[in-house]
Chain A
Amino acid sequence: MITTPNQTQLMQGNQAMTHGALYAGARFYAGYPITPSSEIAEECSVLMPKLGGMYIQMEDEIASIAAVVGASLAGAKAFTATSGPGFSLMQENLGFAVMAEVPCVVINVQRSGPSTGLATKPAQADVMQARWGRHGDQSVVALCPSTVAECFGLTVQAFNFSEKYRIPVILVADEVVAHMREGFRIPEDGEVTVIERKRPTCHPRRYKPFETDIDGVAPLASYGSDYVFHVSSSMHGPDGFSNNDPVNATRKIEQLHRKVEFHRDEIVITRSFDIEDADVLLVAYGITARAARAAALAGREAGIKAGVLQLLTLWPFADKEIGLASERVQTIIVPEMNYAGQVAGEVQKVVGPDRDIRRVNRYNGQIITPDDILEVMTR
């Protein structure tokens, strides 16, 4: 590692995500600069070649995610980072990574839109883009950090899920978390679990790159190994070659969804703060989760029993956890930096149309403050 482990260091969120990726074993980065994610590219351009890895600046984000997918199939743990406009450009090839079951990580440091919008200002408006941005029928995993330490930890986690389940994993950060500096301790090597993709052990002639094991995941070889294999964006059978048989297509689509669904309890990560006796439940994510915690503490001082459920995994959605936490509260509040209430709508689905959800939304490039939330809480 390049950093000194086991020492508390002052680090920016973007830097922490970079170090998280390196800790997880990433050795290939391809990207195209965009604020507020560019520090990740810069840091990778310095550190990757030192570690024998590679940094390559591609001609656009379409090419960036393509190169990441290519490198992953050549055996690399590979990733890219971008913001909303670049994330939009990546969607088609990200869909490819879902279909061809290629492990890779995409960091989207959200900024305000639509389009160039308030270019460098924060927002949390890509929650639905992360979930539904691609065409076709598919599941994804998306994680969301709220502190610099989580930037590190969730990046390692993103690689772990990605390698374990042969899926692209999206890290949905936001401008504030990415640019904020906080002290945190870099774990020592071996302290945090790092997962490697399952490799084939059968005879090379027997290898089928999409023949799944009991866990719904097929071992993945690398180009250049003894295992020769074929990967395709077209509907394919276990051998990777085109196969338009409806029975095969049904099986494939179900498998793509189910390998995420079946491991949902492992993938969905939440943190709860004071929710046991809460009358008011705040469901929050990213930087806004911190405002929510401050608001909940202030609320308790004022005699309101408030608690916070923080979503570290945005997708698959924490429906069970929210359902449980909301059972006996009187009020549910969902603060987020978007107009439409992208997560509030999902929470509404969980608790049903009859329950009132108070929304706190900001979409002007300014963050939601504890006071904004407190005001709604005490209304």
Chain B
Amino acid sequence: MVVAGSGLQYLKKGITPHMWCPGCGNGIVLAMIFRVFEKLDYRMEETVVVTGIGCWGKADDYVVTNGFHGTHGRALAFATGIKAFNPRLHVVVLMGDGDCITIGGNHFIHAARRNIDLTAIIVNNFNYGMTGGQVSGTTPSGMYTSTTVYMNPERDVDICALAAVAGANYVARGTPYHGFELETNMEEALTKKGFSVVEVVSPCPTHYGKNNAMRTPVEMLKWIKGKAMTKAEYDSLDPSITGEYFPIGKLVDRDAPDFNTRYDEIRGRAMKDRTP
């Protein structure tokens, strides 16, 4: 029997040993998603978990709802087709920072602009965990990865700010350290109609931690904790140091009509139109 509230009914049985390293944030995030699924009473038949390619993108192998594991960077585009054709489905899209923001950045912008009713849960571990810790579009400037051994000369993109300007209805950020808050934000994101985004700043001790002199998973988690603060705290920082920190919690919450609602209006107009 599955313990009530654990969400373990969504976990595929017999999957151990799983592929994630000790100290990785992915398992914590997946467990949270399962608990929120249970809380929201998501039926397996009505739920589709769509994943990108990467360590986090392997999550679908551990899930017993409908699953879809596509190609690198394109998860949101596949998910758009699923949701657009069957709006009754809960479509939850799990992507890494490389997948969603770097190779797949254009789809991210347009999914937000289109305001399609998907929930994107992005695990941002600042690098490409799966392929050996290379630099990502979210690696902070000056940090080290396996392809920026002298330091990253480029700047990182702020996922939440990008989602906000592109038009997402709901945007939040959290960390596995702030479990309770993150779970609340996930629940809000899943219940929000329109495009919703939860960025989870998460440890990859195996690569990012190792490459940046954080020797243990705990050290890495503490590093993340030290950078996270509430939006109010963050907004009161001196602008010269905001780059060192990030705000967590809910950042955007609005109710613009979602894509399917708008498309129903199109169907209404088209059906009234008598021209062949």
Given A49-B270, A66-B78, A223-B89, CB of A71 within 8 Å of CB of B44: no
Contact with A along B56-97 (1 / 0, CB 8 A): 000011001111111100100111111111101100000000
Contact of B270 among A50, A93, A222 (CB under 8 A): A50
Is B84 a contact of A54 with CB atoms below 8 Å? yes
- The reply to whether B85 and A70 contact each other, CB–CB distance below 8 Å, is yes
B263 touches A228 (CB 8 A): no
Q: Is the CB of A233 within 8 A of B85?
A: no
CA distance A51 to B80 in the complex (A): 20
Let me know if B77 and A58 touch, CB within 8 A.
Answer: yes
CB distance from A100 to the nearest CB of B (A): 8
Near B by CB (< 8 A), chain A positions 46-63 give 46, 49-50, 52, 54, 56, 58-60, 62-63
Check if B86 sits within 8 Å of A224, measured CB to CB.
Answer: yes
A54-B263 contact in complex given A67-B78, A70-B77, C-beta closer than 8 Å: yes
Give CA–CA (A64, B83) in the complex, Å: 14
| Chain B residue with Cβ nearest A226 | B45
Shortest distance between the CB of A3 and any CB in chain B (Å): 7
A62 & B89 in contact (Cβ 8 Å cutoff): no
Given A30-B81, A50-B273, A59-B106; A73-B44 close (CB under 8 Å): no
Contact with A along B261-274 (1 / 0, CB 8 A): 00100110111010
Cross-chain contact A67 with B80 (CB below 8 angstroms): yes
Q: Are B70 and A96 closer than 8 Å at their CB atoms?
A: yes
> Please, which residue of chain B has its CB at the minimum distance from the CB of A54?
B84
Interface assignment of B210: CB less than 8 Å from any CB of chain A: no
**In the bound complex, CA of A228 to CA of B44 (Å):** 7
A56 x B61 contact (CB < 8 A):
no
Cβ B110 vs Cβ A63 within 8 A: yes
Known: A49-B270, A231-B67, A232-B60. A70 touches B263 (CB 8 A): no
A63 touches B267 (CB 8 A): no
Say whether A68 faces chain B, with CB atoms less than 8 Å apart: yes
Complex Cα gap A73–B109 (Å): 24
CB of B239 within 8 A of chain A? no
Given contacts A50-B270, A59-B110, A75-B86, contact A28 B71 (CB under 8 A): no
Which of chain A's residues 215-256 have a Cβ closer than 8 Å to chain B?
222-234, 240-242
Question: Hey, which chain B residues are within 8 Å of A68, CB to CB?
Answer: 81
Chain A contacts for B46, CB-based, 8 A: 224
- Smallest beta-carbon distance A46→chain B, Å: 7
Contact call A241/B61, Cβ cutoff below 8 A:
yes
Q: Are B78 and A69 in contact (CB under 8 A)?
A: yes
Q: Write out the residue numbers on chain A whose beta carbons fall within 8 Å of the beta carbon of B71.
A: 66, 92-93, 96, 233
Nearest A residue to B265 via CB reads: A49
The answer to whether the Cβ of A308 comes within 8 Å of any Cβ in the partner chain is no
B266 with A49: CB separation less than 8 A: yes
- Which residues of B have CB within 8 Å of A52? 267
- Given A59-B106, A69-B78; A232-B67 close (CB under 8 Å): yes
Say how far A236's CB is from chain B's closest CB, in angstroms: 9
Query: Are A75 and B85 also in contact (CB < 8 A) when A58-B110, A234-B69 are?
Result: yes
Q: Is the CB of B45 within 8 A of A66?
A: no
Q: What residue of chain A has the Cβ atom nearest to residue B109's Cβ?
A: A59
A78 at the interface (CB under 8 A from B): yes
Q: Are A223 and B110 interface neighbours, CB within 8 A?
A: no
In the complex, chain B residues whose CB is within 8 Å of the CB of A224: 45-46, 86, 88-89
For the complex, what is the distance from the CA of A69 to the CA of B79, rounded to whole Å? 9
Distance to closest chain A CB from B35 (angstroms): 20
> CB-nearest residue of chain A relative to B110?
A59
A76 within 8 Å of B (CB atoms): yes
Q: Which of A66, A76, A227 contacts B85 (CB 8 A)?
A: A76
Report the bound CA distance from A223 to B47 in whole Å.
8
A294 to B86, CA, bound (A): 49
B18 to chain A, nearest CB (A): 11
Judge if A2 is at the interface, Cβ distance under 8 Å: yes
A residues less than 8 Å from B269 (CB atoms): 49
A228→B80 contact, CB < 8 A: no
B17 at interface, CB cutoff 8 A: no
- Tell me the minimal C-beta distance from A226 to chain B in angstroms: 6
Q: Verify if B107 is at the interface (C-beta below 8 Å from A).
A: yes
Known: A231-B68, A234-B69. A70 touches B270 (CB 8 A): no
Give the docked Cα–Cα distance between A52 and B84 (Å). 12
**Cβ-based interface call for A74 (8 A):** yes
Interface string of B36-49 (1 = CB under 8 A from A): 00000000111010
| CA–CA, A56 and B64, complex, Å | 30
Asked whether A228 lies within 8 Å of B65 as measured between CB atoms, the reply is yes
Q: How far is the CA of A83 from the CA of B52 in the complex (A)?
A: 27
- The answer on a CB contact under 8 Å between B271 and A49 is yes
Chain B residues whose CB sits within 8 angstroms of the CB of A234 once the complex forms = 69
Q: List 25 A-B contacts (CB under 8 A).
A: A28-B81, A28-B84, A52-B267, A56-B80, A59-B77, A62-B77, A63-B80, A63-B107, A67-B80, A70-B68, A70-B77, A70-B80, A70-B81, A70-B82, A70-B83, A71-B84, A96-B71, A223-B66, A229-B67, A230-B67, A230-B68, A230-B69, A232-B60, A233-B53, A233-B70
Task: Point out residues on B near A: beta carbons under 8 Å.
Answer: 12, 44-46, 48, 50, 53, 60-61, 64-71, 74, 77-86, 88-89, 106-107, 109-110, 263, 266-267, 269-271, 273, 276
Q: Chain A: residues with CB nearer than 8 A to chain B?
A: 2-3, 27-28, 30, 46, 49-50, 52, 54, 56, 58-60, 62-64, 66-76, 78, 92-93, 96, 222-234, 240-242
Which A-B residue pairs are the 8 nearest by beta carbons?
A70-B81, A67-B81, A66-B77, A49-B270, A63-B77, A230-B67, A71-B81, A71-B85
Task: Given A49-B269, A56-B263, output 8 extra A-B contacts at Cβ < 8 Å.
Answer: A54-B85, A64-B77, A70-B79, A71-B81, A73-B82, A75-B86, A230-B66, A233-B69
